[in-house]
Amino acid sequence: ALGKGSDLEKAFATTALVYQNSAGPEGKLSKAETKNLLQTQFGAFIRGQENKPKYQEIISALDEELENKIDFEDFMILLVSLTLMSDLLQEIKSVKTTK
């Protein structure tokens, strides 16, 4: 859909598509599905965070209250939170590219 979009537009479109393809008919993910999606599609960003208290808090919340579902807005907030505490973000910040 965004073949001619910017890199950022394509990134967000891909995120929305991955979420939508994983969500149930009501457009939401179970917490178990969310955890699985993070592990399979966001592994590079969560790798090395296992011992961080905030990461453990986030993952614990996904293990509790299994009847609650995650909507796209909450999913995006979760991705941003995990990205901000990621060691990979620091590596990305140190890389400069020129166009």
DSSP assignment string, 34-96:
HHHHHHHHSHHHHTT-TT-HHHHHHHHHHHS-TT-EE-HHHHHHHHHHHHHT-HHHHHHHH--
Residue 34 lies in a domain: yes
pLDDT (average), residues 11-21: 94
Domain limits at 63?
Answer: 7-98
Confidence at 85, pLDDT banded by 50, 70, 90: confident
The total domain count for the chain is 1
Q: What's the pTM value of the predicted model, to 2 decimals?
A: 0.79
Residue 20 lies in a domain: yes
* Domain at 22, CATH number: 1.10.238
Residue 76 lies in a domain: yes
Q: 26-71, pLDDT tens digit by residue?
A: 999 988 899 899 999 998 888 888 888 888 888 887 766 667 889 9
Residue 1 lies in a domain: no
Instruction: For residue 17, give the H/E element and its range.
Output: helix 7-22
